[in-house]
Amino acid sequence: MSQLNSAVKPWPFSVARSTGSENRDLLHALLCSSVIDEISNVDDYDAVRSYAIHQGKVDASGKIAIGLIFWVYPTTLCGPYHENERHEMERHGVLLTVEPGTSVEEVVRRAKDVQYHDIVHEHISSA
C-alpha cells in the first residue's frame, strides 16, 4: 500500500525530527548561509508570529500552507551568535523547520519553549 494513501505520513515527513544540538556541523554550516531568515523574539515573539503568517501563507484555519525554515534568536543579541566583549563567540539561536499544516500558534509556542543557550534545531511537525 502506498504511504500517500494511508494515515502514515510519507517520507521525508515520516522521519523529520528535532535534533537539538546534534548535527552541529550542519547547523554551523547553515549559519554561514545568508539565505535563511533570522527573526528575533521581540515583543513576546510577535515577529515570529508575523513571519509564520506572511511567509507561511496562513489559511483561514490559522495553519501555514508552505513549510518554513528560519532562525530565531534573543532580540538583544544581534542574530543567532555574536562576539562578546571578551572576544568569545556566544551561540543562542534555534533553527526552526516547520511543516505545512502546522498552526501559527504552535510555531510560536515551540519557539518560546526552546532554551536559547546554544545553536539548536527544532522541527515542528503538522501532526
Evaluate whether residue 9 is within a structural domain: no
Cell 500500500 belongs to: 1
Residue 1 is predicted with a pLDDT of 38
> For the chain, how many structural domains are there in total?
1
Distance CA 55, CA 50 (A): 8
Evaluate whether residue 98 is within a structural domain: yes
Long-range contacts: 50-56, Cβ < 8 Å, 24+? 52/98, 52/104, 52/107, 52/108, 53/104, 56/98, 56/100, 56/104, 56/107
Q: How high is the mean pLDDT in each 10-residue block of the chain (127 residues)?
A: 56 83 85 89 96 98 97 85 89 92 97 88 90
Q: Where are the alpha helices (DSSP H) in the chain?
A: 24-31, 42-55, 104-113
The pTM score is 0.84
Evaluate whether residue 96 is within a structural domain: yes
Evaluate whether residue 38 is within a structural domain: yes
Residue 106 is predicted with a pLDDT of 97
Evaluate whether residue 72 is within a structural domain: yes
Evaluate whether residue 6 is within a structural domain: no
Evaluate whether residue 58 is within a structural domain: yes
Distance CA 47, CA 63 (A): 17
Segments forming the whole domain that contains residue 67: 19-124
Question: Phi, psi (5° rounding) for residue 30?
Answer: -65, -30
Evaluate whether residue 11 is within a structural domain: no
Q: How, if at all, do strands 119-124 and 93-98 pair?
A: parallel
